[in-house]
Structure 1
Amino acid sequence: MREVSSSDGGSGMARRASARVWPLAVTMLALAWWPYAAIAAAALSFAAYTEWWPLAAPLMFLATGVTVAATRPTALPGHAVRPDDEPELAALVDTVARHLGFEGPLLVRITPDPCAALARIRVGGVRTCVLVLGLPLLRTLTEAQLAAVVAHELAHERHTRRPGAAVLHFARDTLGACLDSPFRRRLIPFAPRLLRASQPSAWQAETAADADAARVAGTTATADALRHTHTLAALFHGPATDWWCALEQTGRRPEDFYDALDIALKNPYVARRAADRVAQDDAFDPYATDDHPPLASRVAALPPADGAAAVFRAVPVSLRTAADVEDWCVERLGSDMGVTLDGLWEEHRAHLTGDVPACVPVRLLDMDPDELRRQVDDLVEDPDLRTATGRAAPAEALAAALEALDDGSWPSLADRCDGRIRTAPPLARPELRRDTFRAAVVCGLEGVLRGAGWTSTVRWLGTVLTAPDGRVVDLDALVTGALAGADTTALRALLADARTQEPA
Structure 2
Amino acid sequence: MSAAGEWLLVAAMLVVAWLPMVCAGVLLLAAAVFGGLWPMLGLPMLWILVNVHRAVNGRDPLPGRAIQPGNEPELAELVRDVAARIGFDGPLLVRIVPLPTAALGRVRVSGVRGHVLLLGLPLLRALTAAQLAAVVGHELAHEQHIRDRRTSWLLSARGMLAQRLEGRFRPLAPLAAPLLRASQPSAWRTESVADADAARLAGTTATCEALELTGLLVASFDGLAEGWLSDLAANQTYPEDFYDAFDAALRDPLVRHRCARTAADDDAIDPYATADHPPSAERVSALPHIEGATAYGTDPLTLRGAAVIEQWCVEQLAGLDGWRDSGGGETADETRRPRRGRDRYDPPQPVRLLDLDTDRLHPPADVEALLLLRSATRQDTPQRALSAALDAIADGSWPRLARRIEPGLRWVPAAARATALREVMAGAVAEPLLGMLREAGWTYASRWMSTVLTAPDGTVVDLYDLLVAAVDRGDPVPVRDLLQTAGVQETESV
| Same fold, judged at TM 0.5 (above) | yes
Asked if 2 retains the 8 angstrom alpha-carbon contact of 1:231 and 1:275, the reply is yes
Q: Does 1:287 align with 2:285?
A: no
Distance 1:258 1:264 in 2: 10
Distance 2:68 2:25 in 1: 48
Cα RMSD (Å): 2.4
* Per-residue deviation, residues 221-278 of structure 1 (Å, max 9, x unmatched): 0000001010011111111110121012101111100000001001000000100110
Distance 2:489 2:151 in 1: 62
Distance 1:337 1:382 in 2: 37
Q: Does 1:196 align with 2:181?
A: yes
Asked if 2 retains the 8 angstrom alpha-carbon contact of 1:382 and 1:439, the reply is no
Larger proportion of helix: 1
Q: Does 1:273 align with 2:289?
A: no
Alignment partner of 1:310: what SS?
A: coil
Q: CA deviation at 1:334?
A: 1.2
Alignment partner of 1:189: what SS?
A: helix
**Residue of structure 1 in register with 2:463 after alignment:** 475
Q: Does 1:209 align with 2:197?
A: no
Alpha-carbon spacing, 1:389–1:188, altered in 2? closer, same or farther (3 Å)? closer
**Residue of structure 2 in register with 1:94 after alignment:** 80
Q: Does 1:386 align with 2:374?
A: yes
% same residue: 49
Q: Give the alignment's TM-score, normalised by structure 2.
A: 0.90
Distance 2:120 2:431 in 1: 33
Alpha-carbon spacing, 1:52–1:244, altered in 2? closer, same or farther (3 Å)? closer
**Residue of structure 2 in register with 1:44 after alignment:** 29
Distance 2:108 2:369 in 1: 43
Q: Give the alignment's TM-score, normalised by structure 1.
A: 0.88
Alpha-carbon spacing, 1:256–1:56, altered in 2? closer, same or farther (3 Å)? closer
Asked if 2 retains the 8 angstrom alpha-carbon contact of 1:159 and 1:205, the reply is yes
**Residue of structure 1 in register with 2:383 after alignment:** 395
Alignment-mate amino acid for residue 314 of structure 1: T
* Per-residue deviation, residues 358-401 of structure 1 (Å, max 9, x unmatched): 111110000011112136x6699678432221223323322222
Alignment of structure 1 residues 26-37 onto 2, 5 Å: 26-37=11-22
Q: CA deviation at 1:482?
A: 2.4
In structure 2, stretches of 5+ residues that fail to align are 323-332, 339-343
**Residue of structure 2 in register with 1:8 after alignment:** none
Q: Does 1:368 align with 2:357?
A: yes
Alignment of structure 1 residues 412-451 onto 2, 5 Å: 412-451=400-439
**Residue of structure 2 in register with 1:11 after alignment:** none
Asked if 1 retains the 8 angstrom alpha-carbon contact of 2:200 and 2:290, the reply is yes
Q: Does 1:327 align with 2:311?
A: yes
**Residue of structure 2 in register with 1:175 after alignment:** 161
Alpha-carbon spacing, 1:257–1:88, altered in 2? closer, same or farther (3 Å)? same
Alignment-mate amino acid for residue 72 of structure 2: E
Distance 1:365 1:53 in 2: 61
Distance 1:291 1:444 in 2: 39
Q: CA deviation at 1:124?
A: 0.8
Match of 2:298 among 304, 314, 320: 314
Distance 1:98 1:379 in 2: 57
Alignment-mate amino acid for residue 408 of structure 2: R
Distance 1:189 1:336 in 2: 43
Alignment-mate amino acid for residue 286 of structure 2: A
Corresponding pairs, count? 474
Alpha-carbon spacing, 1:383–1:424, altered in 2? closer, same or farther (3 Å)? farther
Distance 1:402 1:247 in 2: 34
Distance 1:100 1:127 in 2: 20
Answer with 360-369 or 58-67: which moved more: 58-67
Asked if 1 retains the 8 angstrom alpha-carbon contact of 2:422 and 2:468, the reply is no
Asked if 2 retains the 8 angstrom alpha-carbon contact of 1:97 and 1:154, the reply is yes
Alignment-mate amino acid for residue 92 of structure 1: L
**Residue of structure 2 in register with 1:136 after alignment:** 122
Distance 2:186 2:250 in 1: 33
Distance 1:381 1:70 in 2: 48
Alignment partner of 2:450: what SS?
A: strand
Alpha-carbon spacing, 1:182–1:372, altered in 2? closer, same or farther (3 Å)? closer
**Residue of structure 2 in register with 1:13 after alignment:** none
Q: CA deviation at 1:420?
A: 1.1
Asked if 2 retains the 8 angstrom alpha-carbon contact of 1:206 and 1:292, the reply is yes
